[in-house]
Amino acid sequence: MTKKKIFTIAGIAVGAVIVIGIVIWLIFFRGGSVAPSDPNEMVYVTSVADITGTGSLGMTAKYSGVVEPEKTLSVQKDDTKKIAELYVTVGQEVKVGDKLFSYDTDDLQMQLEEAQLQLESLKNRISTLNQQIDSLQKEKNKASSDEQLSYTLQIQSAQLEVKSTEYDQSTKAKEIENLKKSLENTDVIAEMAGVVKQINDGSNTNTSGSNSTNAYITILATGSYRVKGTATELNVYSLQKGVKMKVVSRVDPEQTWTGTVESVEREAANDNNNSGISYGSESSFTKATKYNFYLVLDDFKGLMLGQHVYVEPDEAKDVKTGIWLPSYYILNEGSKNYVWAVNDKNRIEKREVQLGKFDDTLSEYEITSGVTADDRLAVVEDRVHSGMYATDDISYKNQGNDSGDMNDAKTDDANGVMPAENGSDMDGNPNGYSPMPAESAVTESEGETDTAAGEASTADGVTTYENDGAASLGTVIGGATA
C-alpha cells in the first residue's frame, strides 16, 4: 500500500472521527438548548431572584403610588336639557350646597307646555273613543244577527285603543310631573365638599389630571386621603388585605407615613396609562399588566392631593431572610418536596428541596436547601414534566391553561394538605411580621422607567399564577389566595 493511500485513508478516518464528534457534541451538549418545534413542550420559567424580589428588582420591594381622595363625586347632567350657567371652574373648592350649574328654564318651560298639550290631546282621544263605543253598542243592539260579529269586532278594537291611549296618558302625566320638578329645581348643587377636578364640556382643556370620566363635573373630596398603588402581574399576589405598608416621599425619603392595604383589585387597571409596564432588556421588551391596590393611611399630614409616592413593606417588625418561594412553585410527593427547576441543558428537571418555615399570610415557604437565587423555576402545573424546554418568553406563561383567570390559582392547602416541612410555622406566629412582596413593581436600580402613573420596573421573568391545582406527579402544596 502506497504512502499516498495510507494518508488518504488516515485523512478520511480523522474526518469521520471529527464528524462523529461534532454530532455527539450537538446531541449531548447542545441538544438541550435547541427549542422544540412543539410549543406544548416549552414552559415559562422565572429566576428565583426575581420571584423573591432579590434580583434586578432590588432587595426591597417598592411600588409606585399616588395620593388621591377617599371619595370622588361624579355629577351627571341631563343631556335632554340645556345648561344655562356654570358656576364653578376646575380647581375651585366647593362646599356642600354650593351651586355647580343650572339648566335653561325657558327650554324646560317649552317642554312642559308641549307635554301639557299632548296630555290634553290624549284625554280628548279617549273621550272620542268612548263615545264611538257607546254609539257602536247602540247600533249593535238594533242590528241583525248577521251584523253582530262586525259590530263586536269594532267595539273590541276601540276598547283596545282606549287602553293604549290611557297608558300613554299616564306616561305623559309622569313626564309633566318631572318637568315641573325640574323647573322648581333648576340648580344642581354639590352634595360633597371638595375640589373640582374636571368639567367635561366636550373639550380637553377643563381637566385637572390625566384621567377623565364621562361625568359632567368630577369633585374630589378634601380632608381624607388614601394612596392608590400600582402592582403588576409579577407581584400582585404578594399584596393581601390588612398588610401594613409604608409610604415614602419621593422628594424626601426621610418623610414617611404608614397605612394598611384596604383592597387589591384582581381586574386589570382600566385607565389611560394601562398599556402595560415594559420590562426586560432593550432588545426584548415585554409587558406586564397593571393592577391597583389601595392603602388607608394612619395619618396623612403633609401629603398633597396628586402627590406621587413610593409604597413598600413596613419593615418595622421582623424581616424575612433567605429564599422564600410561593406555594405554587412547590410539588409535594409523600414526605418529599420538589420544584421544577432548569438544568444546565436548559431543560426542566424535578429537583428535591428542603422546606423550613411557612408564612400563611403570603402562602410562602422558606427553602433551606435545593435551590439558589440563580436557579430558574416553573410554576407547578399538570402539564409540566421533566425534559421540557425552559423559556423566559412571556407568551408561554399561559401555555396549556386556557382559562387565564388569575383567581383560579388553587392549592391543596385549603383542603388541609400540609407539606413535609423541616421547620416551624414562623415561630408559631406567621402574622407577627411584615412580609416582603415577591417582586417589585418599582426599583431604584438601573433601568427604572418613570411615568405619570408610576415606575415601570425592568425584570427578565414573569411569575404566572394560573394553574388548576393538580400536578401530574404529585400534589401542589400551599394556599395561594386570590
What percent of the chain clears pLDDT 90, i.e. is strictly above it? 37
Residue 157, pLDDT above cutoff 90: yes
Number of domains within the chain = 4
Residues 86 and 162 in one domain: no
Tell me how far apart the alpha carbons of residues 84 and 384 are, in angstroms, rounded to a whole number: 66
Do 331 and 449 fall into the same domain?
A: yes
pLDDT-derived band at 462, boundaries 50, 70, 90? very low
Least-confidence region, from 14-18, 417-421, 453-457 = 453-457
Is the full-model pTM beyond 0.85? no
Neighbours of 96 (CB within 10 A): 10
Kindly state whether residue 280 falls inside one of the protein's structural domains: yes
Which of 141-155, 253-267, 331-345, 395-409 is predicted least confidently? 395-409
- Residue 278 and residue 410 share a domain: no
Give start and end residues of each alpha helix (H) in 26-142: 48-52, 105-142
Model confidence at 476: pLDDT above 50: no
Query: Residues 207, 225: one domain?
Result: no
Give the pLDDT of residue 24: 58
Give the pLDDT confidence of 77-117 residue by residue, as tens digits.
888 788 889 999 998 999 999 999 988 888 888 889 999 99
Least confident of 279-288, 318-327, 364-373: 279-288
In a domain, 394, yes or no: yes
Q: Is the pLDDT of residue 435 over 50?
A: no
Query: Whole-angstrom Cα distance, residue 186 to residue 215?
Result: 18
Which of 220, 241, 266 is the endpoint of a domain? 220
Binning pLDDT at 50, 70 and 90, where does residue 468 land? very low
pLDDT at 161: 95
- The mean pLDDT value for 286-296 works out to 80
Question: Cell 402592582 sits at which residue?
Answer: 231
Are 326 and 431 part of one and the same domain?
Answer: yes
Q: What percent of the chain has pLDDT over 70?
A: 68
> Do 249 and 279 lie in a common domain?
yes
- pLDDT score for 119: 95
8 A C-beta contact, residue 31 and residue 345: yes
Comparing 223-227, 268-272, 391-395, the range with the smallest average pLDDT is 268-272
**Quick one: 358 and 241 in the same domain?**
no
DSSP annotation of 87: -
91's grid cell? 380647581
User: What pLDDT, on a 0 to 100 scale, did the predictor assign at position 239?
Assistant: 84
Q: Which of 313, 331, 364 is the last residue of a domain?
A: 313
Q: Are strands 217-221 and 72-75 parallel, antiparallel or unpaired?
A: antiparallel
Q: Please indicate, yes or no, whether residues 308 and 226 belong to a single structural domain of this protein.
A: yes
Check whether residue 204 and residue 177 sit in a common domain.
no
Say what the pLDDT of residue 382 is. 93
Q: Is 20 contained in some domain?
A: no
Let me know whether 125 and 196 are in one domain.
no
pLDDT band at 186; cut points 50, 70, 90: confident
Whole-angstrom distance, CA of residue 42 vs CA of residue 385: 10
One domain, residues 371 and 464: yes
Residue 297 structural domain: 64-71+221-313
Whether 481 is covered by a domain: the verdict is no
Average pLDDT on 416-443 reads 40
- pLDDT above 70: residue 385: yes
Residue 430 has pLDDT above 60, yes or no: no
Cβ–Cβ under 8 Å, residues 459 and 279: yes
Looking at residues 187-199, what average pLDDT do you find? 90
User: Domain for residue 255, yes or no?
Assistant: yes
Which of 263, 292, 313 delimits the end of a domain? 313
64 phi, psi to nearest 5 deg: -85, 150
In a domain, 444, yes or no: yes
Where do the H-state alpha helices sit in 204-327?
Answer: none
Report d(CA 325, CA 48) in Å as an integer.
8
Q: Which pLDDT band, with edges at 50, 70 and 90, does 62 fall under?
A: confident
CATH number for the domain spanning 351: value is 2.40.420.20
Structure confidence at residue 165 (pLDDT):
95
Q: What is the DSSP string of 392-459?
A: --GGGTTTT-----GGG---GGGGT-----SS-SGGG-TTSS-PPPSS-SB-SSTT-EEETTEEE---
Other Cβ atoms within 10 Å of 426 Cβ, number: 21
Identify whether residues 46 and 78 lie together within a single domain. no
Q: What is the CATH number of the domain that holds 285?
A: 2.40.30.170
Q: Is residue 415 part of a domain?
A: yes
Residue 407 belongs to some domain of the structure: yes
- pLDDT of 454: 38
Confidence bin at 399 (pLDDT 50/70/90): low
Residue with cell 393581601: 240
